Structure 1
C-alpha cells in the first residue's frame, strides 16, 4: 500500500491516516507531494481523484479522504484495534472523529498546523474560544470515562483525528486545562507521532499560506527562509 501525502510540517489531513498506519504497524510506503511550488495543484490533481491529499493506493484501488481511508484500514485489518472494540465506544469514537472532520473551522483557520514553529500569543483567543471550549468538553468527557491517556484508553483512530489539534495547542500556546495538556503530551509521546514529527522537522519547504506571520501580515510572502 502507498499513502500519498503532502508536506508533513503543514498537512494535518495527511498526518491522520499516516499515524494509523504507523501506530498499528501496517506495512506501507508514503509519497510526498508538495503543497507549494510551480504547478503543485496540477501535480496533486493528476494523482488524486479529488485533487486533494491524502490518498491511499492499494493495488488498483484508490481511496481519497481521511476518514474513508481509516475505515478502509479498519475493514482490511480487523485484528487491529483501529476503533474501540466495544460497539458503544466505537460509535462515540466515530462521532468524535466526524465532528473533527466537519468542525473546528475557527481553530483550523486561525492556527494552521506548523510543526516546526513556536508562535505563542499570535492567535486571538476570542476567535477560537468556542472551539477551545468544545475541545475541552469533548476531550474531558472522553478522558474521564476512559481513564486516558488517550480518548478511549488506548490509541485509536479518534486520537489520530485529533492529533493535529494537539499540535496547534502547543505551537500557539493556547490556554487549556491540565487534563487537555496531559492529552497533548500523550499525543506527542506516541512513537508514531514522534516519527512523523522527526521527518517534518527535516523538511526544507515553506508554505506561505500556512505561516501565521505571513497570514497576519508581519512578514511578506516569499521572504521566509
Structure 2
C-alpha cells in the first residue's frame, strides 16, 4: 500500500490520511509529489486521477480524496478504532470530519499550513474570527463530552481531519481558549504527528502559494529560502 502525498510542510490533505495510517500502525509507504517547481502539475495529473494529493494505491485500486481514503482504511481494518466505537459518537465524528472538509474557508485561505514557520500577528483576525468561534464551539462540545485529550477521548480520524487546523493556530499564534490550546498541544504530542513534523522540518522546498509573506505581498515569489 502506498500513499502519494504533497510536501509535508504544506499539504494539509496529505497529512490527514497519513496520520491515520501511521497512528493505527497500518503498513504503508509514502511518496512525495512536489507542489511546486517545473512540471509539477503535469506530474500530479499523470499520477492522480484528480490531479491532486493524497492518493492511496492498494494493488490495482486507486483511491483519491482524503475522506474516501480514511473510509477505505476503516473498512479494510475494522478491528482498528479509526472511528469511535459508539454509534452516536461515530456519527458525530463523521459530521465533524465532513464539516472540516467543506468549511473553515477563512482559516484555510488566510492562514495556510506552514509547519516550519512562525508568523504571529500576520493574519487578519476579522477574516478568521467566525471560523475561530466555530472551532471553539465544536471542539469544546466534543472535548466536554469525551474528557479529552482528543475529540472522542482516544485519537480517531476526526482528530486527523482537524490536525492541520490545529497547526494553523500555533503557526499564526491565533487567539484561542485554554481548551482549544490544550487540544492543539495534544495534536502536537501525538507520536505520528511528531514523525510527520520532523520530516517536514527537513524539507528544502518552498511553495510560494502557501507562504503568507508572499500571499500578502511582503516578499516576492521565489525569494524565500
TM-score range normalised by the length of the shorter chain = over 0.9
| Match of residue 160 from structure 1 | 160
3-state DSSP class of the match of 2:182? helix
Structure 1's unaligned 5+ residue stretches are none
Equivalent-residue separation in structure 2 for 1:222 and 1:177 (angstroms):
36
TM-score (norm 1): 1.00
| Match of residue 95 from structure 1 | 95
Q: 1:136: how far off?
A: 0.1
Runs of 4+, deviation exceeding 4 Å:
none
**Equivalenced residues, count:** 225
TM-score (norm 2): 1.00
Which residues of 2 match residues 64-79 of structure 1 at below 5 A? Answer: 64-79=64-79
Equivalent-residue separation in structure 2 for 1:200 and 1:222 (angstroms):
19
Q: 1:118: how far off?
A: 0.1
Cα RMSD over matched residues?
0.3
Matching of residue 191 in structure 1 with residue 188 in structure 2:
no
Equivalent-residue separation in structure 2 for 1:195 and 1:79 (angstroms):
24
Which residues of 2 match residues 106-121 of structure 1 at below 5 A? Answer: 106-121=106-121
Q: 1:153: how far off?
A: 0.2
Which residues of 2 match residues 1-225 of structure 1 at below 5 A? Answer: 1-225=1-225
Equivalent-residue separation in structure 2 for 1:67 and 1:55 (angstroms):
11
Equivalent-residue separation in structure 2 for 1:167 and 1:89 (angstroms):
24
3-state DSSP class of the match of 2:32? strand
Q: 1:79: how far off?
A: 0.5
- Cα distance per residue 1:111-170 (max 9 Å; x no partner): 000000000000010000000000000000000000000000000000000000110000
Equivalent-residue separation in structure 1 for 2:127 and 2:222 (angstroms):
27
Structure 2's unaligned 5+ residue stretches are none
Equivalent-residue separation in structure 1 for 2:5 and 2:181 (angstroms):
28
Q: 1:215: how far off?
A: 0.3
Equivalent-residue separation in structure 2 for 1:53 and 1:224 (angstroms):
24
